[in-house]
Amino acid sequence: MNKTVLIHTLGCRLNSADTALLTSRLAEAGYTPVKEGSADLIVVNSCTVTAEAARKSRQAVRKFRAASPDAVIIVTGCGAESDREAFLADKAASAVITNPEKRQIVPLILEYLNSRDTASVGGRAKSLTENAEPFFENTFSSFPFRSRAFIKIQEGCNNCCSYCIVPYTRGHERSRDFAECIADCRRAVETGFPEIVLTGVNTCAYSDHGKVLEDLIREIAAIEGDFRIRLSSTEPAPDNLGLLDVMASEPKVCRFLHLALQHGCDRILQKMNRHYTRDIYAHFVRSARERIPDIHIGSDLIVGFPGETEEDFADSCNFIRQIAFANLHIFTYSKRPGTPAAEMPDQVPGNTAQERYRLLKQIADVSHREFLRSNVGKTLPVIFERVGKDGFARGWSDNYIEVRRPAEEVPLDRIVPIVIRPEDFTGSQEVLN
């Protein structure tokens, strides 16, 4: 009998990479992936990085149960680590399995089918481990509904930022076996994917018996084929400056850095337990722009962190204006039980945090438009991924600008050179004003 599986992914690119590995494991067990609709098996790959993400994960499970009362619904991902009891209390999930148990998802599903005992399946393997030996996934990533291949190379984080739940849900830093990473990337290229995205909690921490991220990128870039390599979030530590040399010398590497900042005030960075100062961050950005022209510098920022004063916020805004980010992901601080920041005094009122969000968003929008304008007239390599109902194909340049063109003018899922015009931008009139 043909069995179907629908995997619903929330959260980060690492979750997308985990979903690709889950897809392969389940396909080997006879499950055919479907993009939407009903399915015999539904897997919710959850997120819990913020309270809102955790709420959306629980909401998704309840929604799937209401729509598919007879389906087997498995919850995994970071929410399975931090909110296991909440998922079980909802009685919508058939079983909840931890992040490391993803590799045993097939036998755990069989265990559930044999016992139908929701509470007894999963939750035994914990991700908080000191073992720094390289790990193996023992399968290749599969992307039936994507134009980009998200390849997992690293897991866990040792930074322990005071606001972050991730070290408690993903564990300590460890890296995927070097040869297995290369093999997974080679298979993605041979399958025809024009872009490989290297993902992890802290990709810059990659290390396998002396081989670091720069070595991995060079080896991937040596694979024959017309494709490019994009890095997910990176850290601005001085030890990571060598990464810029690789990016500048390897034409297959996208001119893109999502360089985590979180705040533009040194006092708050210290309270966050971030391991750099504004000066270190600014030096990293200057070095990147000197070596890699037209590089896209993006970042994450948190407003309303406990103890953030009006002076701290103003200091942060001034620094952010100076950096002139190509784009910013802005979050209001979300209290995560079990993290040091959740117990800090002087929690910022919600309405104050929302107003600061609004002001910071205005700064971000201005710098984003300036970055777009600076690329008009330049030839950028673009991969068009989809065609909308309006008849326009949309895709991304190597320096992460969304570009649109009439669908009949461009091919999909190939790198094509495009001379950028103002009308190529979504919301082009707003960009020009």
Dump pLDDT digits (tens) for 184-204. 999 999 999 999 999 999 999
Average pLDDT over residues 368-373: 97
- Distance between CA atoms of residues 74 and 84, nearest Å: 11
- pLDDT score at 128: 47
Proportion of the chain above pLDDT 90, given as a percent: 85
Q: How confident is the model at residue 299 (pLDDT cuts 50, 70, 90)?
A: very high
Domain 3-120 fold: Rossmann fold (3.40.50)
- Distance between CA atoms of residues 188 and 398, nearest Å: 18
Inter-CA distances, 428 with 123, 203, 397, Å: 49, 34, 16
Dump pLDDT digits (tens) for 120-168. 777 776 544 445 689 999 999 999 988 899 999 999 999 999 999 999 8
Q: Which two tokens stand for residue 211?
A: 């081989």
Q: Same CATH topology for 3-120 and 258-373?
A: no
Average pLDDT over residues 231-252: 94
- pLDDT score at 122: 77
Q: How confident is the model at residue 237 (pLDDT cuts 50, 70, 90)?
A: confident
Q: How confident is the model at residue 431 (pLDDT cuts 50, 70, 90)?
A: low
CA end-to-end distance (rounded Å), the chain:
58
- pLDDT score at 37: 87
Q: Which two tokens stand for residue 87?
A: 């998922």
- pLDDT score at 358: 98
- pLDDT score at 131: 56
- Distance between CA atoms of residues 164 and 235, nearest Å: 15
Average pLDDT over residues 205-217: 96
Q: Which two tokens stand for residue 401?
A: 């600008």
- Distance between CA atoms of residues 88 and 118, nearest Å: 8
Over 70: is that where the pLDDT of 242 sits? Answer: yes
- Distance between CA atoms of residues 305 and 255, nearest Å: 31
Over 80: is that where the pLDDT of 432 sits? Answer: no
Domain 258-373 fold: Transcription Regulator spoIIAA (3.30.750)
Where along the chain do its domains lie?
Answer: 3-120, 258-373, 379-428
Q: Which two tokens stand for residue 165?
A: 């739940």
- pLDDT score at 372: 97
Q: Which two tokens stand for residue 329?
A: 């992901």
Dump pLDDT digits (tens) for 324-362. 999 999 999 999 999 999 999 999 999 999 999 999 999
- Distance between CA atoms of residues 349 and 344, nearest Å: 13
More confident residue, 375 or 111: 375
* Mean per-residue pLDDT over the chain, rounded: 93
Radius of gyration over every alpha carbon of the chain, rounded to an integer in angstroms: 22
Tell me, letter by letter, the H, E, C secondary structure of the chain: CCEEEEEEECCCHHHHHHHHHHHHHHHHCCEEECCCCCCCEEEEEECCCCHHHHHHHHHHHHHHHHHCCCCEEEEEEHHHHHCHHHHHHHCCCCEECCCHHHHHHHHHHHHHHHHCCHHHCCCCCCCCCCCCCCECCCCCCCCCCCCCEEEECEECCCCCCCCCCHHHHHCCCEEECHHHHHHHHHHHHHHCCCEEEEECCCHHHCEECCEEHHHHHHHHHCCCCCCEEEECCECCCHHHCHHHHHHHHCCCECCEEEECCECCCHHHHHHCCCCCCHHHHHHHHHHHHHHCCCCEEEEEEEECCCCCCHHHHHHHHHHHHHHCCCEEEEEECCCCCCCHHHHCCCCCCHHHHHHHHHHHHHHHHHHHHHHHHHCCCCEEEEEEEEECCCCEEEEEECCCCEEEEEHHHCCCCCEEEEECCHHHCCCHHHHHC
Average pLDDT over residues 196-220: 96
Dump pLDDT digits (tens) for 52-88. 999 999 999 999 999 999 999 999 999 998 888 889 8
